[in-house]
Structure 1
Amino acid sequence: MTEPGQHDFQVLSSADVYVGRILALRVDELAMPGGGRAAREIVEHLGAVAVVALDEDDHVTLIHQYRHPLGRRIWELPAGLIDKLGEDPVETARRELVEEVGLAAGDWSVLVDVAASPGFTDEVVRVFLATDLAAVDRVMEGDEEADLVARRFPLDEAVRMVLAGEIVNGAAVGGLLAAHTIRTVDAPVRPANAPWPDMPTRLPSRRASPPPRD
């Protein structure tokens, strides 16, 4: 028995249950502190970015989007998956900002990294702060984006919506509260290219190197 906080949770075995386009499910068997073994189900994710696009008047652009697991439309930040292994997260954020709300930004920084639910998934979302905004032609790439509704809110109103339970998306909650904090207490932000140690890599690596066919 090791001291608390010292155990090495060694992976004894690992088996794929499902591998899809945007997620995979595997089961790992771990060595536990008491000497036993335990199975852990893990959802692998591509990783994603979200953007707090904040204009000079401290308004933020949110999107109203249908989310089938919840069965309703919810307010979120412009966001998207990191589709390719090695893709620069800032470039992903730039693309999504154009596609979803027709904005370009001259200045980028990192607000927060949000682990969606680390008890069962490696999904982590990097939330950027985008300022020095300019309107550009929107380029829609999918059917869902044709249904998006974009709307500007005062940052204070967006924070009120978070605290009232009207915004429940995790990246939006974390990003909006972080943006409000840096405006309120002048807290520092990280550069756009700041290290991202928890950026998901396992599923992107699978996609980059698919198993050989029989």
Structure 2
Amino acid sequence: MADGAGEQPALRDEPASWPVRSSGDLHRDGWVVALREDRIQRPGHPEEEPFRRVVLEHPGAAVILAVDDEERVLCLWQYRHAAQTRFVELPAGLLDVDGEEPVDVARRELVEEAGYEAQEWTHLVSTYSSPGISEELAHIYLARGLREVGRGDFVPAHEEAEMETGWVAFDDMVEAVLDGRLRDAPVVIAVLAAHARGLAGSARASR
């Protein structure tokens, strides 16, 4: 918070890196994420003891708000054990292949999870899920010009084996987000970003 004594910082996130005095693995088994403990030194204060922070290492993700010509959103209903909730979600996938661009991950996941390809891709926003503890950066895209192609040889397992899909009017999604019926962060961010930019639903029709 600015205290009035100096110029307020610029309204943008900026890369920064504080000195790490030591680092060690807390958990690493090769499945998606790992936990790391860092001891961090506040810059310019060598007299202070380094403080401990736990970092959830995560490769990042791509999320797809797929909207058809009737302004309906392709939704997934999927159970998430950590939250003990069956969420309404959007197709998404991990950036777990080195060098693969987020939009290419989005293209692949839209086929694998939903069986659709899209002709038009618009980057809506990229957002950190919980930067106090996690490295995860989600890249959210709007996909249009949808064409059903099937899921190929992809075979769902575990939670995905129970996943259901369906189409929901975009304006109904906005209402459900605003009244708290939808709480999955990528869904909330994708829907509100597209709505604010007039890219879907009645807001698009009125442009």
Asked if TM exceeds 0.5, the reply is: yes
1:39 alignment partner in structure 2: 52
Please tell me the residue identity of whatever aligns with 1:122: E
* CA shift in 2, pair 1:115/1:137, >3 Å: same
1:196 alignment partner in structure 2: none
2:64 alignment partner in structure 1: 51
Please tell me the residue identity of whatever aligns with 2:70: D
Match of 1:93 among 103, 106, 119: 106
Task: Give CA deviations for 1:76-98 in whole Å, capped at 9, x if unaligned.
Answer: 11111112111122221111111
Match of 2:36 among 17, 26, 34: 26
Moved beyond 6 Å, runs of 4+:
none
Unmatched 5+ stretches in structure 2 = 1-5, 10-15
Q: Secondary structure at the match of 1:174?
A: helix
1:158 aligns to 2:173 (yes or no): yes
Aligned residues of 2:128 and 2:137 also touching (Cα < 8 A): yes
Shift of residue 72 of structure 1?
A: 2.1
1:142 alignment partner in structure 2: 156
Match of 2:187 among 161, 172, 187: 172
1:12 aligns to 2:26 (yes or no): no
Shift of residue 62 of structure 1?
A: 0.9
State how far apart, in whole Å, the 1-side matches of 2:191 and 2:56 are: 26
Unmatched 5+ stretches in structure 1 = 187-214
* CA shift in 2, pair 1:8/1:68, >3 Å: closer
Greater CA deviation, 93-102 or 113-122?
Answer: 93-102
Shift of residue 150 of structure 1?
A: 0.8
Match of 2:135 among 122, 127, 130: 122
Q: Using structure 1 for the length normalisation, give the TM-score.
A: 0.79
State how far apart, in whole Å, the 1-side matches of 2:135 and 2:125 are: 16
State how far apart, in whole Å, the 2-side matches of 1:24 and 1:80 are: 17
2:13 alignment partner in structure 1: none
Please tell me the residue identity of whatever aligns with 2:167: R
- Same amino acid, percent of matched pairs: 37
Q: Secondary structure at the match of 2:150?
A: coil
Please tell me the residue identity of whatever aligns with 1:72: T
* CA shift in 2, pair 1:8/1:106, >3 Å: closer
Aligned residues of 1:114 and 1:170 also touching (Cα < 8 A): no
1:62 alignment partner in structure 2: 75
State how far apart, in whole Å, the 2-side matches of 1:13 and 1:174 are: 35
Please tell me the residue identity of whatever aligns with 2:33: L
- When the two chains are superposed, the root-mean-square deviation of aligned CA atoms in Å is 2.2
Shift of residue 8 of structure 1?
A: 6.5
Greater CA deviation, 120-129 or 136-145?
Answer: 136-145
Aligned residues of 2:114 and 2:150 also touching (Cα < 8 A): no
* CA shift in 2, pair 1:137/1:8, >3 Å: closer
Q: Secondary structure at the match of 1:18?
A: strand
Shift of residue 185 of structure 1?
A: 7.9
Task: Give CA deviations for 1:43-100 in whole Å, capped at 9, x if unaligned.
Answer: 0001111100011221111100010001121001111111211112222111111111
Q: Secondary structure at the match of 2:177?
A: helix
1:74 alignment partner in structure 2: 87
Greater CA deviation, 132-141 or 58-67?
Answer: 132-141
Aligned residues of 1:100 and 1:148 also touching (Cα < 8 A): no
